[in-house]
Amino acid sequence: MTGGALQGKISVVTGGARGIGAAIAARLSADGATVIIADIDAQAATSQAVLLKNGSAMQIDIGSDASVVKFADFLKNEFGRCNILVNNAAILDMTGINELTMARYRHVLNINQDGAVRLTTALLPLLLADGPGARIVNISSIMGLRGQPNSVPYSMAKGAIANFTRSLAADLGHQGINVNAIAPGFIDTEMAQLPDGSGHEHETKEFLDIYLKYGRILLRRVGQPEDIAGPVSFLCSKDADYITGQVILVDGGVSATF
């Protein structure tokens, strides 16, 4: 769905400088939306924004109250509204429970869980400013719905995002805001880089055998960021007017084999 379906919509994509966020930003822009790439990496966000037909960049640290307030003020002064919010920004953590410190645990949750809540509450007046019809799309993960080794803080946060989505939809439905989430499976991004820098997890023999050769991923391929961008675009469109409170797995069918 391209060619102006989201013409005139003011859209914010956090973590939009790379990976899934960049693909979402590009797709919303192609659909006609004005896209603000909100990312902690200001240089990368600016570089990505210039590739969009109607894009801009703004630095934000969703783990900081002050940074989020500054961003909300910028958005209010510059645009006066926000029609689409995509809470995508997150950090990966694969710390085993034996090595996990409470400081590390709190840091991951502050970004991956609290960051979405922090920004959503700050932007809520702008989401309501244009009347009914605003969209919030949260990016959860299959790891928030299934168990995975060495992932306690990351999986807990992504699981919280799933239920944040349902609860937020219940709070905002009567105000005309649709809230949904996408839970990606294995997607080919920088986050798939192995901790030792030797390559991507998708390239390991174990992954290739179990998930592709023997079909744990039913479509027998690793997902691409654009595979997530399409469903996000749909959820932001009028075609999804009667969809809210849903967590949609976009995983090539891997969850069907768990």
pLDDT of residue 201: 73
| Residue 73, CB-side half-sphere exposure with 13 Å CA sphere | 6
pLDDT of residue 199: 67
Is-contact 185 254, C-beta < 8 A?
Answer: yes
- Whole-angstrom distance, CA of residue 145 vs CA of residue 7: 34
pLDDT of 1 over the 60 cut: no
Domain ranges of the chain: 10-194+223-257
211 is catalytic: no
- Whole-angstrom distance, CA of residue 37 vs CA of residue 232: 15
Catalytic: which of 105, 154, 211, 242? Answer: 154
Task: Tell me how crowded residue 144 is: count the other CB atoms within 10 A of its CB.
Answer: 24
pLDDT class for 208, splitting at 50, 70, 90?
confident
Tell me, what DSSP letter sits at residue 208? I
What long-range pairs does 41-47 form, CB within 8 A, spacing at least 24? 41/17, 44/17, 44/18, 45/16, 45/17, 47/17
Q: Using one digit for the tens of pLDDT, what is the confidence trace for 24-69?
A: 999 999 999 999 999 999 999 999 999 999 999 999 999 999 999 9
pLDDT of residue 229: 98
pTM for the structure as a whole: 0.94
pLDDT of residue 105: 96
Q: CA–CA distance from 239 to each of 1, 6, 90, 115, 243 (Å)?
A: 10, 11, 28, 28, 9
Alpha helices in the chain (DSSP H): 19-30, 42-49, 65-78, 102-112, 114-128, 152-172, 205-207, 225-235
CATH number of the structural domain 10-194+223-257: 3.40.50.720
Q: Using one digit for the tens of pLDDT, what is the confidence trace for 10-20?
A: 999 999 999 99
Token code pair at residue 196: 């030792």
